[in-house]
Structure 1
Amino acid sequence: MRSVTPPVRSRVRSPGAERRRLMRRQKQWEGLANAWRLLFFLAAAGGLGVLVLDQGWQLSRADQVVVSGSERLGRERVLEALELSFPRTLLDLVPSEVEERLGTMLPVQEVHVQRRMLPPRLMVRLTDRDPLAHAERPTRSGVEAGLVDGAGHWMDRSLLAAGEEPLTSIRVLGWQQRYRPTLEQVLERRDGMGSPLSRVRFESNGELWLSTEALGDVLLGSDDGRHPERLAVMRHLTSKLPQQLSGRRLVSIDLTDPEQPELGIAAKPASASAQAETD
């Protein structure tokens, strides 16, 4: 008995199914190509980023530090204050930290710092302090002469241009850093004392003396928070006291207790008749 082999049926795809298969394969190839393009661009961007960070954001010369705004301070003083050496990556120089350091190390009122990439530069803009008064401070080697600004900050005399003078004729004696807030308070109120301020003197124990044209030497004492009150009393005394002295010479005023001022008045010279009687 012969076995009968069934006929093999061939699979015939419809035109629509074949078209869909080709479209799926094309999309697969396109996806693979896009993935390779993305990898290529990522690698190129990463390499470019490394190059920019290594070269584009690197300071290699001093003239890449651009200093503006100050008439007294230049690039050399800024580099010295920052202790900056080259080459140096810009990313290592955080603007806020640079501003804080320069504001501490240099006699400036304001500092503004920016980083620029193309070309790589560090932009430093300084606002100078204006010297307000002559000053002296004690040092180990003696008394040092200098200047102070309106906020009481010490300034080196070398910062003054040739022929430049402070804005006032006030002299500050015995300056120390711990007295700066008190000095700032006095200088801010100098025009409200009723008479021109000529001298500010700090004793070694911290006591404060002021001298004005109308009152002479006035003791305010240590800074206990009541100096504004004492300065108000000074203004009042300036307007009222000269008429009450009747020609007597005022030696000093003690305002350590502003509610009870103590006046030091020179004794009247003895008259000629009184001296004759005494003789």
Structure 2
Amino acid sequence: MAQQYRGRFAPSPSGFLHFGSLIAALASYLDAKHNNGQWLVRIEDIDPPREKAGASAQILKTLELFGLHWDEDVLYQSQQSPVYRAVLAELSQQNLSYYCCCTRAQIKAEGGIYQGHCRQLAQPKNSSAIRVINNLGISQYNDLIQGQVTCNKELAQEDFIVLRKDGLFAYQLAVVVDDIYQNISHIIRGCDLLEPTARQLSFYQILQHTAPKFGHFPLAVTAAGFKLSKQNNAPEIDQRNPIPSLLLALKFLGQQPPKELKYASVTELLSWAITHWSITQVPKSQEIVL
């Protein structure tokens, strides 16, 4: 029996939704719905210093205005601490992790890639990060959109951080544990995460879980290498009139909505988009200049 399709959109509340975020939400939503699957929303609020007040609620409101309705209760990573701690304890018990007190400056001085300096040193818990022992180092995988992806082999083999020195849970830990927790089967997201995906594939194996299928669409950039993002102060999308933004996002994703849909309702447009969604039409480039 085939696993039911379960997709997700997982924004961080570091700002409001911009056009790049809309592309991510729409691509993951359409791929799930076209495959008769469920679409979940997760708020990645594990880094309080980077969060913007009111952003979580505003993100959810915007998704609803754009007709992107989720199928289960929203999961907030800030409420997942007991689950993350249980995984950290399990890694420790199985001797699959260790404390590391290396600084970024030290790692940079060694070439920018962590060389496992603390793996055998039994460092103290205080002022240390926790790294997972990564003996797998997966650096190649097949992507639903990009095809065969080859990542930096040295980076893929690095023992990566799962708990930061400041006590905050690392992205790699939270994202993989939550995808397992929510039984996510497919992850459709931007090409800025091609390299982290290699680490996450290794981490699924370390945790002895089957990894989801991944598909990475091109990034929307304002110039080569300059991502449209919250960090770059990308403008918030127009909530008063969703149709133009939805049509632009569909075209960006290689879909071909007929011109008359500019007069459609949000429901009518999304209904067409779900029926006609074709992941093979999504451009295979890693970024597209707007």
Q: Is the shorter-chain TM-score for this pair beyond 0.5, marking a shared fold?
A: no
Q: What is the TM-score when the length of structure 2 is the normalising length?
A: 0.23
Greater C-alpha Rg: 1
